[in-house]
Structure 1
Amino acid sequence: MEFLVPFRHPWVLLGLLLPAALLIWIWSGRGQRLFLPFDHGRATRGRVLSTLLRSAESLPALILTLVVLLLAGPQRWDEPQAKKVLTNIEFCVDVSGSMTASFGPGNRYDASMVAINDFLNFREGDAFGLTFFGNSVLHWVPLTTDVSAFRCAPPFMRPGNIPSWFGGTEIGKALQACRKVLTTREEGDRMIILISDGFSSDLNGNRGDEIVRDLIADNVTVYGVHVAGGSIPAPIVDITSKTGGAVFSPGDVEGLAYVFQRIDEMQETRIEKTSSEAIDDYGPWTLAAMALLAGTLLASFGLRYTPW
């Protein structure tokens, strides 16, 4: 059955029985006989001429064979292609009031959004999503490979423009919400980049361990960017390290840009080989049919039976 795989319509190959029958009839028959009166003549059997004539008569049957093969849709196996494995990246950005603190020429929020937009250029072809959080969570940009919405997001979600119920910081709630977004994508790797500047009360006790278990179960890697002075909260360090990521604490705008470059380097792009696919392959069969047709036309000038 592997022989039938390279044809789109293998059932058409049953038509090969007709040219096969014609070839059997041509080569098994005794041929056409013409008796001529030659006095005292000794006629040879003419085996060479008979073979040439039968070969010429076989050309139309061979053309019919190629016509059947063309109607069956000849195909060939394409070479396997290298394909980049998509990474689904969800940005989880803190918009609590403390994100308005000075950071470089602007504030922490503005610096974070600029760094995010620059990071998009490093990971061309990946899918990105954007989630803002405080005490509540807002999925601003769904996972998409079209990053134009990211460029327009900063003015709308500045901490000074948001409602009061976004004023706090609940990182645990935000991570769980981002995890649920990522699990909707069955294809590709999953990564969360958490950008915050504060401590989250909803990570106290065993809550952080529960979140880690959920993230690991869904193959989600978490990277953290702590855009504030002082030490990084221990729960954030624990979550990022156990999920295979890391947490960084840049001291200025240049350090923030470097952090995103480091994240890009740590989360390497994976390449996988795709399985080969069957593609149309009419060329060789068409050329063979044209060659046989030309041979038939040439043979018709002389290699044929005549009744005289």
Structure 2
Amino acid sequence: MISLTYPWALLLALLPLLFLTRKQNNEPVDAPVIPIGHWLSGMPGVSTSGRASPMWRKLLILLAWLLLVIALGRPQHVGEQIQMPITGRDLMLVVDISPSMEEQDMVLHGRSINRLQAVKRVLDDFINQREGDRLGLILFGTEPYVQAPLTFDRETVRTLLNESGLGMAGRATAIGDAIGLAVKRLRDRPQEQRVAIMLTDGANTAGEISPDKATEIAAAAGVRLYTIGIGAESLLQRGLLGTRRVNPSRDLDEDLLKRMAEQTGGYYFRARSLPELEMIYDSINQLEPIEQEGQFFRPVTELYVWPAGFAIAIWLLLITIRLLQGRHHPIDPEADRG
């Protein structure tokens, strides 16, 4: 529908009535004349022989004035009501991309893949299902960095995750710094919505903030931590002396990850295989969104430029016509003196 932001501006349409001119016999002329008409009549080089302006010119001037008044009223087209997505959680995904994530102890369709590949595959589905949530992405190794700030644009988060590579953030593992950065990005959000999901396959080996200190900061800021330890517990490894069974997750600090989750009201999960990792994110995906009323808005398109543009076009047309008439009918000084 069409509406006016300032409907009272339409009262200006009556302004020409204040400038009605009268003839000597005190009878009104056949059309109102507004100031712009007098201005046009008095232009240099234009005949002012006293002849009345043609009716079509007066009507065009009046039309231009009315269009300008409508433009001042700021007409708008208001579209149909649209419901915004209900806001759920603010989820910050914190992913370890240190070189240890290259360990190929995950299996997909009978083929070995490394841990980061498994994480990308599972998170792709997880991100797709979190409609209504703001998602962010922090990648960390020796140092953490924000790959994607909190956003409703899930496709961008997914793309940036898939473009991440092993070792991009260094060769060590700064768990404390990563959590500290996540808290910094979440602390300005509503307290009930702050959630960080951290996945790692090792222990804290770098950083300026200890994991315990970072956990205290997260708890004080109301950030709930869900920690995931990834990596198989048994793997056959071939060597010169034959095949032996090793634990590829011997460096994983499970006690730390459990403590971090418990102190912030979250949970710790252990992902030894790709199906387990999928189940973990399915469990996290069951977080109940915060119950909020859906927000509605109506798209608004400004229309004032059209009447304003037509009014200017009419006035320019009238000015051009009077200038052309002035060239063909030059002013007679004797007539002016008379």
TM-score interval, smaller chain: 0.5 to 0.7
How far apart are residue 211 of structure 1 and its match?
2.1
For the structure 1 residues 217 and 269, does the alpha-carbon distance in structure 2 shift closer, same or farther, using more than 3 Å as the test? Answer: same
Match of 1:219 in 2: 222
Matches within 5 A, 1:69-218: 84-102=86-104, 103-104=106-107, 105-159=112-166, 162=168, 166-186=170-190, 189-201=193-205, 207-218=210-221
How far apart are residue 185 of structure 1 and its match?
2.8
Larger deviation, residues 149-158 vs 113-122: 149-158
Q: Does 1:270 align with 2:290?
A: yes
For the structure 1 residues 244 and 275, does the alpha-carbon distance in structure 2 shift closer, same or farther, using more than 3 Å as the test? Answer: same
* TM-score for the superposition, normalised by structure 1: 0.56
In 2, Cα distance between the equivalents of 1:191 and 1:275?
22
Match of 2:263 in 1: 242
In 1, Cα distance between the equivalents of 2:116 and 2:281?
15
For the structure 1 residues 273 and 82, does the alpha-carbon distance in structure 2 shift closer, same or farther, using more than 3 Å as the test? Answer: farther
Give the aligned residue type for 2:125.
D
* TM-score for the superposition, normalised by structure 2: 0.51
Equivalent pair of 2:92/2:136 in contact (CA under 8 Å): yes
Q: What secondary structure does 1:239 align onto? A: helix
For the structure 1 residues 156 and 170, does the alpha-carbon distance in structure 2 shift closer, same or farther, using more than 3 Å as the test? Answer: same
**More helix by proportion, 1 or 2?**
1
The aligned length equals: 194
Equivalent pair of 1:83/1:273 in contact (CA under 8 Å): no
Equivalent pair of 2:85/2:132 in contact (CA under 8 Å): no
Give the aligned residue type for 1:247.
Y
Deviations 1:197-249 (A, max 9, x none): 00114699x94442222112211000011112356521111010111111111
Q: What secondary structure does 1:153 align onto? A: helix
How far apart are residue 155 of structure 1 and its match?
4.8
For the structure 1 residues 227 and 182, does the alpha-carbon distance in structure 2 shift closer, same or farther, using more than 3 Å as the test? Answer: same
Deviations 1:77-127 (A, max 9, x none): xxxx99844310001000101001112232101111111111123321100
Deviations 1:162-204 (A, max 9, x none): 2xx6110010010001110112334760111101000114699
Q: Does 1:252 align with 2:254?
A: no
Give % identity.
25
For the structure 1 residues 154 and 135, does the alpha-carbon distance in structure 2 shift closer, same or farther, using more than 3 Å as the test? Answer: same
In 2, Cα distance between the equivalents of 1:271 and 1:82?
14
In 2, Cα distance between the equivalents of 1:246 and 1:188?
16
Equivalent pair of 1:232/1:249 in contact (CA under 8 Å): no
In 2, Cα distance between the equivalents of 1:175 and 1:183?
12
In 2, Cα distance between the equivalents of 1:131 and 1:221?
16
Equivalent pair of 2:98/2:172 in contact (CA under 8 Å): yes
For the structure 1 residues 156 and 85, does the alpha-carbon distance in structure 2 shift closer, same or farther, using more than 3 Å as the test? Answer: closer
Give the aligned residue type for 2:197.
I
In 2, Cα distance between the equivalents of 1:121 and 1:82?
18
In 1, Cα distance between the equivalents of 2:161 and 2:193?
26
Give the aligned residue type for 1:166.
G
In 1, Cα distance between the equivalents of 2:217 and 2:122?
28
Unpaired segments of 5 or more residues in structure 2? 1-82, 234-248, 297-338
In 1, Cα distance between the equivalents of 2:294 and 2:277?
37
In 2, Cα distance between the equivalents of 1:271 and 1:124?
14
Equivalent pair of 1:220/1:243 in contact (CA under 8 Å): yes
Unpaired segments of 5 or more residues in structure 1? 1-80, 277-308
Match of 2:238 in 1: none
In 2, Cα distance between the equivalents of 1:188 and 1:146?
21
How far apart are residue 150 of structure 1 and its match?
2.5
* RMSD (CA atoms): 3.1
For the structure 1 residues 271 and 114, does the alpha-carbon distance in structure 2 shift closer, same or farther, using more than 3 Å as the test? Answer: same
